């Protein structure tokens, strides 16, 4: 869900970005029926979505890697250690971004992420934390997907507003998900 929500939020602000999703499970699964329904309720289409496994190439090509939980940040950093500085849970990035302030006109994404990430420690990611982790609704009732969709939509809109000031030329946003959508 986050992929289409973030893509929509960025496009609505005129930000030209390539948003792709990947996870740590199997490749080729369609979005779950509840995910597709929640997206459709918001005018977004997940019918063509197929899960894919995050890999070194995808991480290396990404300017920013978003995760839904700390465990996914660990997975990415384990795969490409140099990516830690540009890998955040979306909740963490929005929270820290609000503290630092939106990206300034002319400020590169890398410079903004360095400011936002100042003082981060890899040890923080050894345990889950509801302040950083989005609850995974996989296998739950539609009501759980609805709660997650509301949270993700809010986070996508907030992140788009933090990234927006100037246009981003070749931003590629990727995030990990522990389960197929």
Question: How is 11-74 classified by DSSP, letter by letter?
Answer: HHTT--EEEEEEESS-SSPBPPHHHHHHHHHTT---TT-B--B--HHHHHH-SEEEESSHHHHH
- Residue 173's pLDDT is 52
The reported pLDDT for the residue numbered 180 is: 37
Q: What integer pLDDT is reported at residue 42 of this predicted model?
A: 95
Domain that holds residue 18: 2-177
Give me the pLDDT at residue 165, please: 64
| CATH number of the domain encompassing residue 165 | 3.40.50.2300
> For position 110, what pLDDT does the model report?
93
Predicted TM-score (pTM) of this structure: 0.88
Going by C-alpha positions, the residue among 39, 128, 35 that lies closest to residue 89 is 128
Q: How far is CA 114 from CA 4, 94, 97, 108, 132, in A?
A: 26, 14, 11, 10, 18
**Tokens 């990947």, residue?**
22
Return the pLDDT at 25. Answer: 75
Predicted confidence at residue 149, as pLDDT, reads 96
How many domains does the chain fold into?
A: 1
pLDDT < 70 positions in the chain: 165-181
């Amino acid at each position: 869900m986050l992929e289409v929500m973030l893509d929509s939020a960025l496009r609505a602000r005129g930000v030209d970005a390539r948003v792709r999703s990947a996870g740590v499970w199997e490749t080729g699964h369609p979005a779950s029926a509840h995910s597709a329904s929640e997206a459709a309720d918001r005018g977004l289409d997940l019918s063509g979505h197929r899960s894919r496994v995050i890999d070194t190439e995808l991480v290396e090509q990404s300017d920013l890697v978003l995760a839904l939980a700390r465990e996914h940040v660990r997975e990415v950093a384990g795969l490409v250690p140099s990516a830690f500085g540009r890998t955040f849970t979306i909740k963490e990035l929005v929270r820290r971004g609000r503290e630092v302030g939106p990206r300034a006109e002319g400020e590169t994404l890398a410079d903004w992420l360095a400011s936002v990430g100042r003082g981060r420690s890899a040890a923080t990611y050894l345990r889950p934390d509801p302040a950083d982790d989005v609850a995974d609704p996989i296998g739950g009732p539609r009501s759980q997907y609805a709660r997650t969709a509301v949270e993700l939509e809010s986070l996508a809109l907030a992140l788009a507003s933090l990234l927006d000031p100037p246009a981003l030329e070749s931003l590629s946003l990727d995030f990990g998900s522990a389960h197929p959508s």
